[in-house]
Structure 1
Amino acid sequence: MFRLIALGILSAAFFSSTFILNRAMSLEGGHWVWSASLRYLYMLAFLGVGCCACGKARALGEVLALFRRHWVFWTLAGTTGFGVFYSLICFSASYAPGWVVATTWQTTILASPLVLLAFGRRVPSRALLFILVIFAGIILVNLDLAETATLKDVVLGGLPVLIAALAYPLGNQMVWEAQRGGQGLIPDIGDPVLANPFARIALLTLGSAPFWLLLILVTRPPAPSADQWLNTALVALLSGVVATGLFLHARHLASDAYQISAIDSTQSSEVVFSLLGEVLFLQGALPGPWGTAGIALTLVGLTFYLRAQYAGS
């Protein structure tokens, strides 16, 4: 269990680059659609080149073959877990600081049990109190933003993140269910290639491609700048490949719903990493009293949540 938690926290450190760099691109005038879609273009390139460079071109062919066999499922899972999730995260960065988006994003901890229940899985009830503590911290952080921003900024900086927080675990759980026999509309995909976390990333990324193309056609954003190309490449590498690989690997090692919820909850540590990064690299302001209290509550809730999970696992 300790190993799974450590992997989750390490992934959160790399995930925090998303919030910092997205905010940087927003402040420089970069359009959120490019911040979102270019990340996944780079991810496909990194994964493809990486496989070929490591002599695993055959594995890449197996991934493509698996995608063709279940393209409807991968398109649905990729659109949900990658497309909807990340487009809304980037959209919110145009209206709220990165650490606020990162803190609000922790509602994914609340969404994870709901997703598990939707798939008929048991969820831990012993830690519900601590989940409420985390949620209270998120509310305080957004109250801190409300003191210096307009109502529009608060709504557009927060509401999309709440939807993203549900879409991400939903997409990941769809893959988890498919690996374990499937149910309902989810097919049984017991292919051994899914044991590789990077194969799962590639499949979800390929599945999200139609969503990104449609989003670009609908919004018609202005061309990205050179800095935006560079920053999205960094996000793709640090968050899209390294962080997502670590996170999905930890989730793959989970043996039950208790461990899945615990791994998902480690993402709360993104708040601290995002705040430090924004202050150090973007000269962002430190949070006020409400924001400080909110971050503290979020981390306290996370700590006791993990202890409750560990004690019952």
Structure 2
Amino acid sequence: MRPIVLGVLAALFFAVTFVVNRAMDLAGGSWIWSASLRYIFMVPFLVIIVLTRKNLKQLFSVMKEHPRSWLVWSFIGFGLFYAPLCFAAAYSPGWLIAGTWQITIISGSLLAPLFWVTLGNKKVKGKIPLKGLMLSMIILIGIILMQIEHAQSIPLATVLLGILPVIIASFAYPLGNRKMMEICDGRLDAYQRVLGMTLASLPLWFLLSIYGLFTVGAPTLQQGIQSLIVAISSGVIATVLFFMATDMVRGNMQKLAAVEATQSIEVLFALVGEIIILSLPIPTPLSWLGILVVIIGMVIHSYVSSIEKGPATTTINA
């Protein structure tokens, strides 16, 4: 159950993203700086951590083996993940983004056929874990119940601009994460892999920052401080915890789906955060029912996965 516990802790720190990004937007900050500053601020913290662990040389050695792959999958896993989330924050409240983000529970399962797995001495196409997918649907139903009353009052434009980018992000994050696990093949720890992907995604964030300077101007001090909070909480702590959890189960698609499903509890954490920090109204009874369904779905999903005794697998290049 350790990977599940790490996944839940990661969800707690990830929830800071939805609350603080919404707060930045309400204060007039641009999504451009919310996205780029987070990853730029992450670099020094991660470098210090990896240097302290004396693993920086090994990281650069592994990155030199496939530099193009690092650039591509870091762009997808970090760039196409976080930039759309920040963009969506300009059009939707944090609770809606957090709720929509839970589509990643299903997205991660649907990505299985994109990978080959090794079963004994044979290499076969990965299969969608139907049991895990069905259990994930329980969680998704709970999320829909939580948000249904709010969603009825949202204009179509907000739905399109606030939800479609999040759907893109929901596929990009697990895809980039799994591909980098495949490339690293267990040779790097979570700190090294997060630092490597952050460094490889820096060209995108620098270009986005330049674009921001010429379009919306420089960020305010307040947005800079808020972005630093997100960088430490979500970018460093949450990402490392989540990567540690996925590394532990990277050889089993069922257990990997269960770890990714723990991120559904972000909705609960984000909801509580917005109630306390942004004075969001107390949820309706229907929303609380949705929260209960989410928790029950997570418990069932985690339990079934923990007793699953399917063969271990190792992903290889598609």
TM-score bucket (shorter structure):
0.7 to 0.9
Secondary structure class of the residue paired with 1:29 = coil
Which residue number in structure 1 is paired with residue 101 of structure 2?
105
Alignment partners' CA distance in 2, 1:60 and 1:238: 22
Gaps of 5+ in 1: 181-189
Alignment partners' CA distance in 2, 1:225 and 1:260: 40
Of residues 208, 211, 216 in structure 1, which corresponds to 2:201?
Answer: 208
Alignment partners' CA distance in 2, 1:276 and 1:171: 29
Alignment partners' CA distance in 1, 2:154 and 2:286: 14
Alignment partners' CA distance in 2, 1:238 and 1:80: 21
Give me the identity figure in percent: 39
Q: 1:237 to 1:51 in 2, by over 3 A?
A: same
Q: Is the counterpart of residue 172 in structure 1 residue 171 in structure 2?
A: no
Alignment partners' CA distance in 1, 2:61 and 2:132: 41
Q: Normalized against structure 2, the TM-score is what?
A: 0.86
Alignment partners' CA distance in 1, 2:2 and 2:201: 30
1:311 is displaced (CA, Å) by: 3.0
Q: Is the counterpart of residue 233 in structure 1 residue 228 in structure 2?
A: yes
1:258 is displaced (CA, Å) by: 1.4
Alignment partners' CA distance in 2, 1:290 and 1:79: 38
Which residue number in structure 1 is paired with residue 260 of structure 2?
264
1:1-313 map, 5 Å: 2-52=1-51, 54=52, 56=54, 59-119=55-115, 120-180=125-185, 192=187, 194=188, 196-218=189-211, 220-254=215-249, 255-288=251-284, 291-313=287-309
- Residue type at the aligned position of 2:204: F
Contact kept in structure 2, 1:115 and 1:173, CA below 8 Å: no
Alignment partners' CA distance in 2, 1:55 and 1:139: 43
Root mean square deviation of aligned Cα? 2.0
Aligned pair count reads: 297
Q: Normalized against structure 1, the TM-score is what?
A: 0.87
1:137 is displaced (CA, Å) by: 3.4
1:139 is displaced (CA, Å) by: 3.7
